[in-house]
Structure 1
Amino acid sequence: MSTLLPGYPELTEQVSARPLKHVLEPSDYFFRGITRVGGIIVLAVMCLVGLFLTINAVQAISAVGLWKFLTTQEWAPETNNFGIAALLSGTVMVAIVALIVALPLSIGTALFITEVAKGSLQKTLTSVIDLMAAVPSVVFGLWGAYMLQPVVVDFSRWLSEWFGWIPIFKVRDVDPSNPLVDTNLFTASTFIAGLVVSMMVIPLQTAMMTETFRRAPIGEREGAFALGATRWGMIRSVVLPFGKGGIIGGTMLGLGRALGETIAVYLIISPKFVVNPHILENGSNTVAAHIALRYGEANQFSISALMAAGLALFALTMAINFTASSIIARSRSGAESEG
Structure 2
Amino acid sequence: MAAPAEPAERAPDEDRPRPVRATKPLVDRVFRGVAYGNGALVLLVMGGIGLFLSLQAVPTLRAYGWSFFTENDWNPEQNRLGITAIVLGTVLVALVAIAVAFPLALLTALYIAEYAPRRLRRTLVSLVDLMAAVPSVVYGLVGVALFQPQLRFVARWLHGKLGFIPIFEVGTAADPVDPNAAIWSETRYTASAFIAGIVVALMVLPIACSVMREVFGQVPVGEREAALALGGTRWGMIRSVVLPFGRGGIIGGTMLGLGRALGETIAVVLIISPAFDLKLRILEVGTITTSSLIALRFGEASPSQLSALLTAGLVLFLITLVVNTLAAIIVNRSRSGAATEI
* TM-score greater than 0.5 by the shorter chain: yes
Please provide the CA RMSD for this pair: 1.8
Alpha-carbon separation, structure 2, partners of 1:139 and 1:304: 30
Alpha-carbon separation, structure 1, partners of 2:198 and 2:81: 29
Length-normalised TM-score, structure 2: 0.89
Residue matched to 2:208: 205
Could you tell me which runs of 5 or more consecutive residues in structure 1 were left unpaired when the two chains were aligned.
1-17
AA partner of residue 87 (structure 1): I
**How far apart are residue 28 of structure 1 and its match?**
2.1
Structure 2 CA distance for partners of 1:28 and 1:232, relative to 1, 3 Å: same
Does 2:229 match 1:226?
A: yes
Q: 1:97-112 alignment to 2 at 5 Å?
A: 97-112=96-111
Residue matched to 2:135: 136
1:208 and 1:246 in contact (8 A); partners too: yes
Residue matched to 2:283: 280
AA partner of residue 186 (structure 2): T
2:113 and 2:216 in contact (8 A); partners too: yes
Residue matched to 1:10: none
**How far apart are residue 194 of structure 1 and its match?**
0.3
Alpha-carbon separation, structure 2, partners of 1:140 and 1:222: 42
**How far apart are residue 268 of structure 1 and its match?**
0.4
Instruction: Tell me the secondary structure at the aligned position of residue 157 of structure 1.
Output: helix
1:329 and 1:335 in contact (8 A); partners too: no
Deviation string 1:317-337 (CA, Å, 9 cap, x unpaired) is 00000110111112232889x
Structure 2 CA distance for partners of 1:29 and 1:282, relative to 1, 3 Å: same
Deviation string 1:22-68 (CA, Å, 9 cap, x unpaired) is 76433222222111111111111111111111111111121100x21
Structure 2 CA distance for partners of 1:213 and 1:153, relative to 1, 3 Å: same
Alpha-carbon separation, structure 2, partners of 1:285 and 1:23: 58
Instruction: Tell me the secondary structure at the aligned position of residue 52 of structure 2.
Output: helix
Residue matched to 1:261: 264
Structure 2 CA distance for partners of 1:200 and 1:177, relative to 1, 3 Å: closer
Structure 2 CA distance for partners of 1:21 and 1:128, relative to 1, 3 Å: same
AA partner of residue 238 (structure 1): V
Structure 2 CA distance for partners of 1:83 and 1:233, relative to 1, 3 Å: same
Q: 1:55-204 alignment to 2 at 5 Å?
A: 55-65=55-65, 67-172=66-171, 173-176=176-179, 178-204=181-207
Alpha-carbon separation, structure 2, partners of 1:25 and 1:218: 35
Structure 2 CA distance for partners of 1:287 and 1:225, relative to 1, 3 Å: same
The number of residues matched between the two structures is 318
**How far apart are residue 78 of structure 1 and its match?**
4.2
2:89 and 2:289 in contact (8 A); partners too: yes
**How far apart are residue 315 of structure 1 and its match?**
0.2
**How far apart are residue 109 of structure 1 and its match?**
0.3
Residue matched to 1:235: 238
Deviation string 1:109-142 (CA, Å, 9 cap, x unpaired) is 0010111112221000000001000000000001
**How far apart are residue 234 of structure 1 and its match?**
0.9
Could you tell me which runs of 5 or more consecutive residues in structure 2 were left unpaired when the two chains were aligned.
1-17
Alpha-carbon separation, structure 1, partners of 2:210 and 2:148: 27
**How far apart are residue 219 of structure 1 and its match?**
1.3
**How far apart are residue 250 of structure 1 and its match?**
0.6
Length-normalised TM-score, structure 1: 0.90
Instruction: Tell me the secondary structure at the aligned position of residue 283 of structure 1.
Output: coil
1:78 and 1:302 in contact (8 A); partners too: no
Does 2:38 match 1:38?
A: yes
2:160 and 2:180 in contact (8 A); partners too: no
Identity of aligned residues (%): 54
**How far apart are residue 282 of structure 1 and its match?**
0.4
AA partner of residue 34 (structure 2): I
Match of 1:246 among 246, 249, 261: 249
Match of 2:328 among 325, 329, 338: 325
1:189 and 1:282 in contact (8 A); partners too: yes
**How far apart are residue 107 of structure 1 and its match?**
0.4
1:63 and 1:80 in contact (8 A); partners too: no
AA partner of residue 75 (structure 2): A
Structure 2 CA distance for partners of 1:79 and 1:231, relative to 1, 3 Å: same
AA partner of residue 260 (structure 1): G
Alpha-carbon separation, structure 1, partners of 2:67 and 2:338: 43
Any runs of at least 4 consecutive aligned residues in structure 1 with deviations exceeding 6 A, and if so which? 18-22
Alpha-carbon separation, structure 2, partners of 1:153 and 1:20: 73
Deviation string 1:234-277 (CA, Å, 9 cap, x unpaired) is 11111111111111111111001100000000000000011120
Structure 2 CA distance for partners of 1:47 and 1:72, relative to 1, 3 Å: same
1:205 and 1:251 in contact (8 A); partners too: yes
